[in-house]
Structure 1
């Protein structure tokens, strides 16, 4: 591939569900799934779990044909890809597109611009991303090497969750009852849980290394509802990138990654031989939230090792907040001449979003109410049409652009909750002018329980300029913002009982989703969207919709 030239990469993806008349696919998939935890039919991509890795180089154009061979409506989101002027390929159902209906297909067409590193793709409708997901690896252009010593080998490591029952049945039951859904039955590392008492298989992912060599581990949290710790016995990890953005390298024993986040680390194989345990386990510092406490394990094994014993390690406790905070505080943008941190200094839109859980009346639900979630007390109602299509064609009625930039009334967000826990419902968007700069404070609340919220913004990277515990103080806290080398991300934790501040420039026209990447909270309505207007001329305007865009 010549540097500076665009290469068009074509991929075909088939979403498959085993049936009696799909014998070959059924055999492959049932064998793979038995290795995980059960033999139930499930939705996979090209018969694989996790799905295939998509490789590209910076500035490549990708054409990815998704063929829907299951009975669910489906879409695919290319998580972290900025989709410059190609919001039609972003993927969230009823936001950027109507779903791909059973038996239909859609070609996602986009260019990876000014990005290199690890991202991932996943289903963006219902709870299907539990098994419909895979890695995206964007290599730098040939004339632009890594800003760190080139590793001898690169390995994708996908962390996930597994339910022994149908995930759609799990969330349907929870929706009908109004209560939280059942937690997962296992965690996985590259599709395998390791020894878990409730699983048929005890198989682990095994990673072979050579002494003296360096390996780049591309770690992806594809779990639905849990932040995860990751560590390897006897080895430290050097963090070099998060969310496809380089960081100042630092060494750590444990990394923390939230659903939707990616982390690249350098592993030095600095032992002569042996087997060493890899572990991933949940992090949740809220005392009231249930998580799957099972630890998934894998093995790092040195080539020519004959010993049968494995060096073990103990994962952090599920509420090891000090370890989590130390890791997050260590993240800083590289901010070099080649990779400057372009933090907006002048702010056009200063927004304050409170994130809350609430209770709304429900006659058919258990105890007469259902748990809901909201931003600024608005529980987002999913439309039945594509909001992007409605915006592009100036069709009124699908949404309003009056999403509140501040909560309707102020209270002690992390203290004693108010008596009224009801929320309003609506399909409300917040409008941004092209190239306007935005500062957004994401404030957790303790209405039902304080907890972490990994918030993902589609269409943009943002800079994390500050975070803190308790209520955000607009007079004091901005004085401590890091405007020099804040970490650049597409997904960030709004900390339990605290706040986080981000800044970004709205230089990408379209309708862009902002939502919690805990799938249960998204289901409950913890989501909204920004509508970014066109700028001046065609290079600052949304491209027309493709001819094969699915219809609702």
Structure 2
């Protein structure tokens, strides 16, 4: 049940939207292959959730039963709202265990712990959202980061999440970045993290002092309690590569407390972190992640039938003649994919596609940039900043083997973009800086054991390449998981056509919310 609840954080009390009165929301637990009454959702986009993409919003007093099918996922994923900025407080973890009778590809841990990283504003989140949409500027920076809803010891009037551990035991940290607009470094003082999974896919064990995790991503990590009995900090702070963008430079902390340690350290030492703008550290981590190939649902596609190159830009559009907006030089901030700033319709695209309604969307989203320029140049002409607006989708033939290169640009502001594809997991096969070179860069792809993920962080002034098979018929949102960029139009829709036999999208349920 979604409802308003009152919470105190950072010396302020306010009403927030919660699920079952909990913040973060309740954890869902299931087994691989289980069907429950987000996720890959085979042939079932009706329960995917984004408003005006796969459903119209659930009206006050209304209800909708979502059917979740865990088909290839195993590990940690998460659920969240997909309406304006409601996901700031409406989110929670999902544990997908191995099939009953099967086991993890690593020794069974002694305890499993959700670690949900988030952001907190003293102001009402609806006011923050409505203000930056109205003014055309950037949203106010959050007042704190949180771990399991608590900012931690370094903030005034704040409590801390505490994890009690026993020496010699192993703890399975199921880490989710639910922050709205920040990539985060996460670390634990004097302890190593063993990464064993990302985005509900297993990975080769990787031992690190820190991880980098962007909004929408999850990490499964093992923490071995092998230090002297004391208190230690786990902590997170921003990785922000944009030169001029404002960001939250605070650090959220939680305590790891060894049982039997009665002399509680008032302020433990903070763990090691790279610098806020250390792009090399962030992508040294990402490029070190290798998939556990024996668990792949299918092999990495080698014979590609559909290529796409999609530019990701922060844009600026002129204000009306009688007003001034909050963007650079009095403009209104916008964003785009392939120079198209997405406009949501007033009826959901899935319904329009299923019932063959005309005039709701156009099928001509460009598969390559309509504007060709030096995407990562230091200075670019101002006329390139203005995108076109539209409700354009790309139609993909069922069974297509896809290669998509997401190319960041330096229009208005270069920054990293966490790109999430609904309805599928994909192989993250390559990263690079500068402009993608279709002749040279594919030679450096990892096609043997890339991680299987659902969100990829595209580096500032660089590119990221993914491959997958379009084998899930339906209507699926593609978007940046920085919520301000999504609100400005950095999204599009992929429609995967029906295949043969039973490879056909399911019919709509009877309780779909009306528009």
1:190 partnered with 2:109: no
- Structure 1 SS opposite 2:372: coil
1:311: how far off? 3.4
1:85 partnered with 2:43: yes
- Structure 2 SS opposite 1:39: strand
- What corresponds to 2:2 in structure 1? 15
- What corresponds to 2:504 in structure 1? 541
Residues 335 and 341 of structure 2 are in contact (CA less than 8 Å); yes or no, is this contact kept in structure 1? yes
**Runs of 5+ unmatched residues, structure 2:** none
- What corresponds to 2:353 in structure 1? 391
1:362: how far off? 2.1
1:36: how far off? 5.7
Measured on the aligned residues, the alpha-carbon RMSD in Å equals 1.3
Choose the corresponding residue for 1:355, options 296, 299, 312: 312
Q: Which runs of 4+ in 1 moved over 3 A?
A: 338-341
- CA 1:339 to 1:375, structure 2 compared with 1: closer, same or farther past 3 Å? closer
1:340: how far off? 6.3
1:376 partnered with 2:338: yes
- What corresponds to 2:126 in structure 1? 168
Q: Which has the higher contact order (CA 8 A, sep 6+)?
A: 2
- CA 1:532 to 1:341, structure 2 compared with 1: closer, same or farther past 3 Å? closer
- CA 1:365 to 1:392, structure 2 compared with 1: closer, same or farther past 3 Å? farther
Partners of 2:472 and 2:173 lie apart in 1 by 31
Partners of 1:465 and 1:183 lie apart in 2 by 33
1:360: how far off? 1.1
- What corresponds to 2:382 in structure 1? 419
- What corresponds to 1:506 in structure 2? 470
1:394: how far off? 0.9
Residues 341 and 484 of structure 1 are in contact (CA less than 8 Å); yes or no, is this contact kept in structure 2? no
Q: How many residues align?
A: 506
Residues 441 and 502 of structure 1 are in contact (CA less than 8 Å); yes or no, is this contact kept in structure 2? yes
1:60 partnered with 2:22: no
Residues 147 and 253 of structure 2 are in contact (CA less than 8 Å); yes or no, is this contact kept in structure 1? yes
Residues 506 and 532 of structure 1 are in contact (CA less than 8 Å); yes or no, is this contact kept in structure 2? yes
Partners of 1:339 and 1:374 lie apart in 2 by 32
1:120 partnered with 2:75: no
1:457 partnered with 2:421: yes
1:521 partnered with 2:510: no
- What corresponds to 1:202 in structure 2? 158
Superposition TM-score, scaled by structure 2 size: 0.96
Choose the corresponding residue for 2:87, options 110, 113, 129: 129
Superposition TM-score, scaled by structure 1 size: 0.90
1:306: how far off? 1.1
Residues 176 and 365 of structure 1 are in contact (CA less than 8 Å); yes or no, is this contact kept in structure 2? no
Partners of 1:541 and 1:365 lie apart in 2 by 49
**Structure 1 stretch 359-368 or stretch 499-508: which is displaced more?**
359-368
Cα-to-partner distance string for 1:229-253 (whole Å, 9 max, x where unaligned): 1111110010000000000101001
- What corresponds to 1:43 in structure 2? 17
- What corresponds to 1:409 in structure 2? 371
Partners of 2:448 and 2:124 lie apart in 1 by 47
1:167: how far off? 1.3
Cα-to-partner distance string for 1:366-405 (whole Å, 9 max, x where unaligned): 2652010001100000111010011011111110110001
Residues 515 and 527 of structure 1 are in contact (CA less than 8 Å); yes or no, is this contact kept in structure 2? yes
1:255 partnered with 2:211: yes
**Runs of 5+ unmatched residues, structure 1:** 1-13, 18-28, 64-77
- What corresponds to 1:492 in structure 2? 456
Partners of 1:419 and 1:108 lie apart in 2 by 45
